[in-house]
Amino acid sequence: MSSPLDSARPSEIPFRNPGWAGNTGQFELTEAEVRGDEYIGARALDGGHPSGAPAFPFMLVERNPDAPLFEGPYKTRFEKILTRYPDVQGALIPVLALAQEVRGHVSPSTLQEIAQLTGIPEAEVRGVASFYTMLNKRPVGRFLIQVCTNISCNLCGGDEVLHAFLEYTGTELGETSEGGVFTVTEVECLAACGFPTAVQINSRYYENVTPAGVPALLDRLRTEAR
């Protein structure tokens, strides 16, 4: 099993979508339809194909912390979310994810706005938002790098990978690098135990990551960030 990171040879599959098996002829959907137009850091404004709906709170489109909450296509999606659940409490988590998609993180003022929009008590909104680690309570960089250090990854050097990320981005754990490009965090199991060390960068999985592969990976991301 080789990862694009381990070898210098250019992959047959474009790097930008390593999880996309290519058009096998079995389905008629294009990747753009499944993933949204721009894969990294982007999700279609209308939410994309339903197959992508439950995931990707890290796929951040605007990342403008001062952006108005739920306007235009986001408003449509917000209203759609509310109709999906029997009560407004059930819709809270997807609404928080949507807010994070717009603003990059859920700040106290965002939580307050959501409380007003949904009628859920502010304290409860905060309680829910703080429970889920996939919701960023603080601003994060353009790339949120989540390194797994749970059992399998730990046995295969997850700690070293984490340290490599911290060293090459020049940040402390949870801190955002200069220019707001990288934030490195440590996470529990990413459910990719077969390919340790697993790293999730925004919504994308990178598997079999080794400390040696970290600088090249970061370089590639820096290029994309420009």
Partner 1 sequence: MSESATKPMVTATLDGRTVTVPKGTTILQAAETVGVWVPHYCYHPGLSSPAQCRLCLVEVQGAPKLAPSCVTELQEGQVVHTESPKAKEMRQGVLEFYLANHPLDCPVCDQSGECKLQDYVHAEGRVHGRSREPKRGFGRDDYGRDVLFYGDRCGRCTRCVRFMDEVAKDPRLTVVERGNRSVIDTFFEEGLQGSAFAGNIVDICPVGALVSKDFLHKARAWDLDHSPSVCPNCSQGCNIDLHVRDDVVQRLRPRANLEVNHHWMCDYGRHRYEWMNRQDRIEVPVVGSSADGVALEWGLALRQVADRLANAPQPVMAVASASSSNEDLGALAHLVRALGGGEIVFRSERAEKEIPLPGFPTLTRRYDLVPNRMGAEILGMTRVGKDDGTGGLEGWAAHRGTLLVLGDELRDVGVDFGPSAGLYVYLGSYPTPAASSAHAVLPVTTFAEGEGTFANVEGRVQRFWPGVRPPGLARPAWLVLAALVERLGGAAVPESAEAAFLRVAELAPELQGLTYEAIGTQGALLNEPVALPGSRS
Which positions lie near partner 1, rule CB under 8 A?
108, 111-112, 115, 121-127, 130-131, 133
- Whichever of 125 and 221 has its CB closer to partner 1, that residue is 125
The least distance separating partner 1 from the CB of residue 112, rounded to whole angstroms, comes to 8
Q: How far is the CB of 107 from partner 1 (least distance, A)?
A: 10
**CB neighbour list of residue 203: distance below 8 Å, 6 or more residues apart:** 43, 55, 56, 58, 59
DSSP assignment string, 60-128: -S---TTSPSS-THHHHHHHHHHHHSSSTTTTHHHHHHHHHHHHSS--HHHHHHHHHHH---HHHHHHH
Q: Which is nearer to partner 1, 126 or 220 (CB)?
A: 126
Report how far residue 226's alpha carbon sits from residue 190's, in angstroms, rounded to the nearest whole number: 28
Token pair 């990294």 is found at 40
Smallest gap from Cβ 219 to partner 1, in A, equals 35
- Name the minimum Å distance from CB 152 to partner 1: 21
Q: Is 162 exposed, middle or buried (0-12, 13-18, 19+ CB in 10 A)?
A: buried
Give the nearer residue to partner 1 in terms of CB position, either 102 or 129. Answer: 129
CB of 217 to partner 1, least distance (A): 30
CA distance 37 to 44: 6
Q: How many angstroms separate the first and last alpha carbons of the chain?
A: 31
Using alpha carbons only, give the angle 121, 122, 124 rounded to the nearest 5 degrees: 70
Of residues 115 and 193, the one with the C-beta less far from partner 1: 115
Nearest distance, CB of residue 93 and partner 1, angstroms: 14
CB of 204 to partner 1, least distance (A): 25
Task: Evaluate whether 35 touches 48 at the Cβ level (below 8 Å).
Answer: yes
> Which CB sits closer to partner 1, 54 or 119?
119
Choice between 122 and 172, CB closer to partner 1: 122
Closest CB to partner 1 among residues 137, 220: 137
Measured over the CA atoms of residue 223, residue 190, residue 33 and residue 65, the dihedral's sign is: negative
